[in-house]
Amino acid sequence: MADILNVGIIGAGRIGKIHVENLARFIPQAKLEGIADITLSAEQEAWAKSLGAQVVSKNPQDLLSDASIGAVVICSSTDTHADLTIAAAAAGKHIFCEKPIDLTVSKVKAALEAVKKAGVKLQIGFNRRFDHNFKRIRDYTLAGEIGAVHLVKITSRDPAPPLPAYVAGSGGIFLDMMIHDFDMARFQAGSEITEVYAQGAVLVDPEIGKAGDVDTAIVTLQFANGAIGVIDNSRKAVYGYDQRVEVFGSKGAAQAENDLPNRVTLSNEAGVTGEKPLYFFLERYKGAFLDEMVSFVDAVLHDKPVAVKGEDGLENMYAALAAGKSLREKRPIRIDEIRSL
Site for its own copies, residues 150 to 179, rule: CB under 8 A: 150-151, 153, 155, 157
**Do the beta carbons of residue 306 and residue 122 sit within 8 Å?**
yes
Quick one: which segment of 84-92, 289-297, 298-306, 325-333 binds its own copies (CB under 8 A)?
A: 325-333
136 belongs to the binding site for its own copies (CB under 8 A): yes
Rounded distance, CA 224 to CA 152, Å?
A: 13
332 belongs to the binding site for its own copies (CB under 8 A): yes
Ranges of H-type helices in 2-91:
14-21, 42-50, 61-64, 78-90
Instruction: With H, G, I as helix, E, B as strand and everything else as coil, classify residue 109.
Output: helix
Number of chain positions touching its own copies (CB under 8 A): 69
The nearest distance, CB 167 to its own copies, in angstroms, is 17
251 belongs to the binding site for its own copies (CB under 8 A): yes
43 belongs to the binding site for its own copies (CB under 8 A): no
Quick one: which segment of 33-41, 80-88, 93-101, 254-262 binds its own copies (CB under 8 A)?
A: 254-262
CA distances from 283 to 14, 222, 261, 277 (A): 13, 32, 9, 10
Identified binder of its own copies from the candidate list 275, 280, 286, 325, rule CB under 8 A: 275
Rounded distance, CA 202 to CA 211, Å?
A: 11
Site for its own copies, residues 211 to 230, rule: CB under 8 A: 216-218, 220, 222, 226-230
- Alpha-carbon torsion (26, 30, 31, 32), positive or negative: negative
180 belongs to the binding site for its own copies (CB under 8 A): no
Site for its own copies, residues 116 to 135, rule: CB under 8 A: 132-133
**Do the beta carbons of residue 227 and residue 248 sit within 8 Å?**
no
**Do the beta carbons of residue 86 and residue 61 sit within 8 Å?**
no
The nearest distance, CB 238 to its own copies, in angstroms, is 5
Is 88 or 137 the residue whose CB approaches its own copies more closely? Answer: 137
144 belongs to the binding site for its own copies (CB under 8 A): no
- Nearest partner of 200 among 326, 318, 337, judged by Cα: 326
Rounded distance, CA 60 to CA 304, Å?
A: 26
Q: What amino acid occupies position 62?
A: D
Footprint on this chain of its own copies (rule: CB under 8 A): 25-26, 132-133, 136-137, 140, 145-146, 148, 150-151, 153, 155, 157, 197, 199-201, 203-204, 216-218, 220, 222, 226-230, 232, 234, 236-239, 242, 248, 250-276, 330-332
